Amino acid sequence: MLQDLESAFISSELPYDSEVIINKKSLKYSIDGAGDALNMNEFNITATAEDVEEFDLLNPDRAGSLKVGGGLPKLSPHDLRRSFVVFMVKNRLGNALTVKYQLKHRNINMSNWYANYSELARTNQLLMDAQLMSDFDEAIESSAVDAWDEIYNVSDTLSGAEGERIAKERPELLAKNKAERLAQGEEIVMSRSELLALVRSGDKSIVLLPTGGYCTNRNCERLCSLMDIVEAPCEHKVVTDKAAKRLSRERDNLIASFRAINDMGDYANELILDARKKKIQSIEPTLVKHSIPFDSFNDDIKAVWS
């Protein structure tokens, strides 16, 4: 059993030549009806509050069975296999495929079961790192301020329902404190400190969309990259000059993809091509508003079911 411990990459630090330790009951199988568990009391290993918290998290069906100052309800050599897997996945030393190879599982579902809740444990450990979460918060705030700075102070043109509203608001904000800003050498609508205060207070929220634009509604659940094609445009959407240029490049890629698929002449691709064509054409009004030149796209689908 000592050899089993060592082969599981868990160092027991027990000398093989110590008869006193080797002959302990804790290192022998219990065959008197008590099961095949090891008696951990012999090693004086007791659970801390942190141990109990993680045990309950990883074993919800056994939550409460481990007490602070107590020992595991049972520990068999087989339990060490799962403990090893949890340690490996939790610390990003491997994944389900690694586990399958290491433990010689025939089915990867069994490997996933062994690593059950490991991701949750890692996430929980991450969230408990106050310094790391503080760094995340600062990075998120900085990114949000960068986005709002682009909207208020950098982009010449704004489109999207919310973008057009802000475009009308910008001259008023600039004129409001123009004399004071000019005296300080500023030629901006809103300073970064003002934007940061609004972000921290919750008055300003922003999310980068797959389309390249921004959504200013923190509670939005729409998939705007698709919904703008089939529904009315989102009233919280903002598209800057920079985002419009990204959309122009995306449109070029969609056109190249459309034509490559269309040349196959396969009737099965009709719905894919129809959706792609609508996506391409939905980008064009934004390019017009941002004065980005383009050739209108009107390609016909070659293979159409009659």
Number of alpha carbons in the 13 Å side-chain half-sphere of residue 245: 5
Residues 160 and 217: their CA atoms lie apart, in Å, by 13
Q: Which residues contact 252 (CB under 8 A, 6 or more apart)?
A: none
Check: CB of residue 167 under 8 Å from CB of residue 241. no
Residue by residue, pLDDT tens for the chain (306 residues) are 666 655 555 445 555 555 655 555 444 444 333 444 555 556 667 788 888 887 887 777 778 888 888 776 666 777 778 788 888 777 777 777 877 877 788 787 777 777 766 766 666 665 556 776 688 788 888 999 999 999 988 899 999 889 999 988 887 776 665 556 555 555 567 788 888 888 888 888 888 877 678 888 877 655 555 445 545 667 888 999 999 999 999 999 999 999 999 999 888 889 889 989 998 998 999 999 999 999 999 999 988 876
Backbone phi, psi, residue 179, to 5°: -60, -45
Backbone phi, psi, residue 128, to 5°: -85, -10
User: Which tokens go with 295?
Assistant: 């050739």
pLDDT in tens, 81-132: 878 888 877 777 777 787 787 778 878 777 777 776 676 666 666 555 677 6
pTM of the model: 0.54
Determine how many CB atoms are found less than 10 A away from the CB of residue 249: 10
pLDDT in tens, 133-159: 688 788 888 999 999 999 988 899 999
What is the DSSP-derived secondary structure letter of residue 301?
Answer: P
